[in-house]
Amino acid sequence: MTQLAGGTSACARAKDGQSFPAYKFHEGSATALGQVSRRLQDPSTDATVVMSEVVQRWQQEVDRCSARGRDWQAYAAGGLDAMRSVEALTSGSDPSGGLDLADEPDPPGAPSEPQIARPG
């Protein structure tokens, strides 16, 4: 995100009156991912319930920011986009939008299947 900001903080750009929606979109994504990550650290948490709540909260944020500036709208849209992507991944739906990613070659040295450590 620092590279996206061109070496200047988003706060400094905002103080100068510069709109920066691309940065704010990614900032919203990172914020939302951090929120859901923290909530899912509790092993007793139902991930489906958490995802539903978080998606709903970010949708409300999008609705609330519709009358605010472009930066706020982009921030909320980034959060909602990230949560919908995670929700699609966790629900088993197709987050790729129909792309057949299985035919893409693996990068050199990549394992052919994810290695998941299971408690033994």
The domain locations on the chain are 10-95
99: pLDDT confidence band, cut at 50, 70 and 90? very low
Q: Is the pTM of this model over 0.85?
A: no
- Residue 31 reports pLDDT greater than 90: yes
- In our burial notation (b when 16+ CB lie closer than 10 A, e otherwise), range 26-64 reads bbbbebbbebbeeebeeeeeeeeebbeebbeebeebbee
- Mean pLDDT of all residues in 51-68: 90
